[in-house]
Structure 1
Amino acid sequence: MAESKDTTGKAGHWLADRLIRGAIWVMLRLPFDARRALAAFLMTRIVAPLGGWRRRIRENLALVRPDLPEAEVRRMELAVPRSIGRTLAELYSGPDFVARVAREPLQGAGVPALEEAHRTGRPVLLVTGHLGNYDAIRGALIARGYPVGGLYRPMDNPFFNIHYVAAISRIGTPLFPRGRKGLADMLRFLRGGGMVGVVLDQSMGDGALLSFFGQPALTALSPAEMALRYDALILPTYGIRRPDGGFDLRVEAPIPHSTPEAMTQALNDSLEAQVRAHMDQWLWTHRRWKMENKTW
């Protein structure tokens, strides 16, 4: 029975990947902006309804933003998948995407500290969330000659994961998969004065229960712990999409070193402020407030 279930799951992953590859092949035949528009349309009109995304968006908004008018909730049901589609197209558009973000200026109070760390070879953790395009800062800094690696979580679908990793590698390397070997390679890179991009807003079963939008959210303390252990600068960073198709590349002031919990809560607060300012660019489709049987 287990073997049959595994076989069925593998076949399902293979079929889903074939469909995704076909859509990506068509998408990449188009100019950059047209490809983003097509991906946005497919996500909004096909993937979101089939994947139950609209229900998940409604549930998350009801939990943390029950004050939103119904008309705004309905708008978000369409706007969030549209943003996800654009992000996917950008991640698969390596050179075109990097060319777009490379010409954007770095903004924010943390830019001088980032430049100084680059000059002196101090390790840096660039912490972001699934807002706008989370790889925009990485691509922009690599284009400027900064040594930036990325920590990523391998996809559940192994067939999709192969070409996904290949795609984000075209934005820049090195990349480090979550896991023992990936972590060891990442720490070696960081200790050598590298910069590592980390996405923080995923529910981590072994994380600390901290606040995000006033609700308990399991959050990894590891970026703050690494910053303390290796005297690394820790910076909240964001690639916010503009209506004109460009990006605002924001580097906020460094998080002061204190305790891992206090530092990570500051990162959560920074991300929350940005999400509140750009509600339709965050990944409201994922289970950020999953509790894993823990109590607040």
Structure 2
Amino acid sequence: MAVRSDKAGRIGAWITDRLIRAALWLVLSLPFDARRSLAAALMTRIVAPLAGWRKRIRENLALVRPDLPEAEVARLVRDVPRSIGRTLAELYSGPEFVARVAREPLQGAGVAALEEAHRTGRPVLLVTGHLGNYDAIRGGLIARGYRVGGLYRPMDNPFFNHHYVAAISRIGTPLFPRGRKGLADMVRFLKGGGMVGVVLDQSMGDGAILRFFGHEALTALSPAEMALRYDALVVPTYGIRRPDGGFDMVIEAPIPHGDPETMTQALNDSLEAQVRAHMDQWLWTHRRWKMINKTW
């Protein structure tokens, strides 16, 4: 029975990937800005209702922002999938995407510290969330000559994961998959003075119980722990999408070293402030608060 179930699961994953590949072929046949618009429309009109995203967005908002008027909730139910679609099109548009972010100026209180770390070879953890385009900073810094790697979580669908990793590799390498070998490779790169981009806003079963939007959320302490172990800067970074199609490349001030829980809570607070300012650009489809609602 288990063998049959595994086989059916692989067949389902293969079929899903074929559909994704067909949609990507259509999207990528268009110029850069047009492909982002088409991907946004496909996510909003087709993927969001089929994947149950509308319901989950409403549930997350009802939990952490019950004060929002219905008109604003409806807007976010519509606009969040649009942002996801644009991000996916950008991630699959390596050279065009990098060219776009490479000409955007770095801004924020942490720019000088980041430039100094680049000059001196000090390790840096560039911590972000699924806001705007989480790979904009990585691509923009690599285009400027910075040594930047990325830590990523392999997709559950192995067929999709194969071409997804190939796509984000065109933005820049090295890339490190979560897991023992990926972590070991990442540590060596970091100890050698590299910078590593880390996305922190996924619920991690072995994480610490911290606060995000006023509610308990499991959050990985590993970026803070690595920073303390290897004397690395911890810098919150964000690639915020603008209405004109460009990006604000935000480099916030480094998080002071201290105990890992305090440092990681500061990272959560930084991301929360950015999400509150750009509600439609965060991945509200995440099961970020799974420990509260076990049915998500």
What is the TM-score when the length of structure 2 is the normalising length?
Answer: 0.98
Q: Which residue identity lines up with residue 252 of structure 2 in the other structure?
A: E
Alpha-carbon distance in structure 2 between the residues aligned to 1:28 and 1:43? 15
Q: Which residue identity lines up with residue 136 of structure 1 in the other structure?
A: A
Is the partner of 2:209 in helix, strand or coil?
strand
Counterparts in 2 of 1:93-104, with a 5 A limit? 93-104=93-104
Q: Which residue identity lines up with residue 108 of structure 1 in the other structure?
A: G
* Equivalent in the alignment of 1:177: 177
The RMSD of aligned alpha carbons is 1.0
Q: Which residue identity lines up with residue 70 of structure 1 in the other structure?
A: E
* Equivalent in the alignment of 2:89: 89
Counterparts in 2 of 1:103-252, with a 5 A limit? 103-252=103-252
Q: Which residue identity lines up with residue 244 of structure 1 in the other structure?
A: D
In the alignment, does 2:42 pair up with 1:42? yes
Task: Give 1:292 shift.
Answer: 8.1
Per-residue displacement from partner, 1:167-212 (whole Å, max 9, x unpaired)? 0000000000000000000000000000000000000000000000
Alpha-carbon distance in structure 2 between the residues aligned to 1:229 and 1:292? 32
Alpha-carbon distance in structure 1 between the residues aligned to 2:58 and 2:290? 15
Is the partner of 2:156 in helix, strand or coil?
coil
Is the partner of 2:95 in helix, strand or coil?
helix
Is the partner of 1:258 in helix, strand or coil?
coil
Q: Which residue identity lines up with residue 81 of structure 1 in the other structure?
A: P
Alpha-carbon distance in structure 1 between the residues aligned to 2:235 and 2:242? 22
* Gaps in structure 1 of 5+ consecutive residues: none
Is the partner of 1:204 in helix, strand or coil?
coil
Indicate if the aligned counterparts of 2:216 and 2:292 stay in contact, CA closer than 8 A: no
Indicate if the aligned counterparts of 1:205 and 1:292 stay in contact, CA closer than 8 A: no
Q: Which residue identity lines up with residue 101 of structure 1 in the other structure?
A: V
Per-residue displacement from partner, 1:129-168 (whole Å, max 9, x unpaired)? 0000000000000000000000000000000000000000
Q: Which runs of 4+ in 1 moved over 4 A?
A: none
Task: Give 1:50 shift.
Answer: 0.3
Q: Which residue identity lines up with residue 232 of structure 1 in the other structure?
A: A
Task: Give 1:293 shift.
Answer: 9.4
Is the partner of 1:234 in helix, strand or coil?
strand
Per-residue displacement from partner, 1:239-287 (whole Å, max 9, x unpaired)? 0000000000000000000000000000000000000000000000010
Indicate if the aligned counterparts of 1:102 and 1:139 stay in contact, CA closer than 8 A: yes
Indicate if the aligned counterparts of 1:118 and 1:146 stay in contact, CA closer than 8 A: yes
Alpha-carbon distance in structure 2 between the residues aligned to 1:257 and 1:268? 15
Is the partner of 1:268 in helix, strand or coil?
helix
* Equivalent in the alignment of 2:271: 271
Pair 229,20 (structure 1): closer, same or farther in 2 beyond 3 Å = same
Task: Give 1:291 shift.
Answer: 1.1
* Equivalent in the alignment of 2:13: 13
Alpha-carbon distance in structure 2 between the residues aligned to 1:138 and 1:269? 21
Aligned residues: 294
* Equivalent in the alignment of 2:55: 55
Alpha-carbon distance in structure 2 between the residues aligned to 1:152 and 1:292? 25
Q: Which residue identity lines up with residue 64 of structure 1 in the other structure?
A: V
Alpha-carbon distance in structure 1 between the residues aligned to 2:186 and 2:208? 22
Is the partner of 2:138 in helix, strand or coil?
helix
Q: Which residue identity lines up with residue 104 of structure 2 in the other structure?
A: E
Task: Give 1:290 shift.
Answer: 1.0
Q: Which residue identity lines up with residue 223 of structure 2 in the other structure?
A: P
